[in-house]
């Protein structure tokens, strides 16, 4: 699945999230690329289409970043993968909005070469980052949903995500919706983000 809807708005989005960070959370004016306990969520609402793109260090979700070797590690990765395959259980959306999942894409070096995993054709970029990902593995989940009544979608509750993955302490959210663009820092105690 191509990230057309999210790609342009977030490429143009000023680093509003940086304003939400404390000075100690970033150095030299840039956001950290990989920080344990911190995830990123891009949300785009355009007409009836809602897109959610979650990027998180594997440590936040599975508790480790190495390639799963033991049966216990493999079981943990599979359990997390199954959770991520159910976005409507991880993201609290108003039921009155009538959102249904259309497409999803889950990516991580931890998922291996499972045919159920849908990978982009960017093999050159993947190979370039391959060694780095083994040391600092990330999990990316991208969802496209269609909402029957998008006007009823005024907020997203991230509480279920925090409960499923308690090692996640903060989610930097970038929203693009009918009321414009904004960056929000979410925490377990402040888990509801509004459009």
Checking if the pLDDT of 20 tops 70, the result is no
Give the Cα separation of 116 and 80 in Å (integer): 14
Domain ranges, ordered by start, for the chain: 35-194
Instruction: Quick: pLDDT tens for 23-53.
Output: 334 333 334 456 889 999 999 999 999 999 9
Q: Average pLDDT for residues 151-178, to the nearest whole number? A: 96
Structure tokens at 24: 């100690």
Give the Cα separation of 83 and 164 in Å (integer): 8
Residue with the two structure tokens 């989940």: 141
Whole-angstrom distance between the N-terminal and C-terminal Cα of the chain?
24
Give the Cα separation of 56 and 107 in Å (integer): 11
Give the Cα separation of 166 and 157 in Å (integer): 15
- Give the CA dihedral 34, 17, 93, 150, nearest 10 degrees: -130
**DSSP classification of residue 97:** G
Checking if the pLDDT of 128 tops 70, the result is no
Cβ-proximal residues to 56 (8 Å cutoff; 6+ apart), any chain: 39, 40, 138, 139, 165, 168
- What mean pLDDT is reported for the chain? 80
Q: Which of 71, 64, 43, 28 is nearest to 138 (CA)?
A: 64
At 77 the three-state DSSP class reads helix
Q: What's the whole-model pTM score?
A: 0.75
- Give the CA dihedral 53, 84, 124, 66, nearest 10 degrees: 120
């Amino acid at each position: 699945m191509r990230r057309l809807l999210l790609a342009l708005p977030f490429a143009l989005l000023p680093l509003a999230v940086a304003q939400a960070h404390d000075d100690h959370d970033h150095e030299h004016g840039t956001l950290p690329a990989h920080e344990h306990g911190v995830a990123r969520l891009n949300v785009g609402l355009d007409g009836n289409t809602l897109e959610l793109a979650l990027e998180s260090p594997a440590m936040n979700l599975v508790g480790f970043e190495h390639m799963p070797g033991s049966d216990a590690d493999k079981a943990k990765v599979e359990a997390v993968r199954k959770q991520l395959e159910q976005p409507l259980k991880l993201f609290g959306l108003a039921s009155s909005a009538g959102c249904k999942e259309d497409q999803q894409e889950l990516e991580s070096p931890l998922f291996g070469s499972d045919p159920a995993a849908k990978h982009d054709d960017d093999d050159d970029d993947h190979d370039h980052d391959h060694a780095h990902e083994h040391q600092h593995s990330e999990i990316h989940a991208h969802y496209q949903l269609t909402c029957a009544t998008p006007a009823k979608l005024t907020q997203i509750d991230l509480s279920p995500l925090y409960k499923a993955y308690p090692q996640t302490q903060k989610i930097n959210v970038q929203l693009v919706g009918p009321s414009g663009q904004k960056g929000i820092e979410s925490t377990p105690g402040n888990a509801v983000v509004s459009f």
